[in-house]
Amino acid sequence: MEHDLEANKKTVADFYDLIINKKDFDSARKYIGSRYRQHNPLVADRPEGLEAFIAFLKTNYPEAKSEIKRIFADGDHVILHVHSLRAPETAGRAIIEIFRLENGKIEEHWDVIQEIPSESANPNGMF
Span 66-99, pLDDT tens digits: 999 999 999 999 999 999 999 888 999 999 999 9
Residue 46 forms part of a structural domain: yes
As beta bridge partners, residue 100 has: 77, 108
Q: What is the mean pLDDT of residues 40-51?
A: 95
Please tell me the distance from the alpha carbon of residue 14 to that of residue 127, in angstroms, as a whole number. 21
Look at 26-30, 36-40, 86-90 and tell me which has the smallest mean pLDDT: 86-90
Residue 23 forms part of a structural domain: yes
Please tell me the distance from the alpha carbon of residue 34 to that of residue 27, in angstroms, as a whole number. 15
Provide the residue range defining the domain that includes 26.
Answer: 5-115
Question: Residue 3: what pLDDT?
Answer: 66
Residue 41 forms part of a structural domain: yes
Residue 126 forms part of a structural domain: no
Question: Residue 1: what pLDDT?
Answer: 44
Question: Residue 88: what pLDDT?
Answer: 85
Per-residue confidence at 16, pLDDT binned at 50, 70, 90?
Answer: very high
Enter the pTM of the model: 0.93
Residue 10 forms part of a structural domain: yes
Please tell me the distance from the alpha carbon of residue 87 to that of residue 108, in angstroms, as a whole number. 27
Residue 60 forms part of a structural domain: yes
Residue 64 forms part of a structural domain: yes
Q: Which amino acid is residue 15, in one-letter code?
A: F
Q: How many domains does the chain have?
A: 1
Q: What's the CATH number where 44 sits?
A: 3.10.450.50
Residue 127 forms part of a structural domain: no
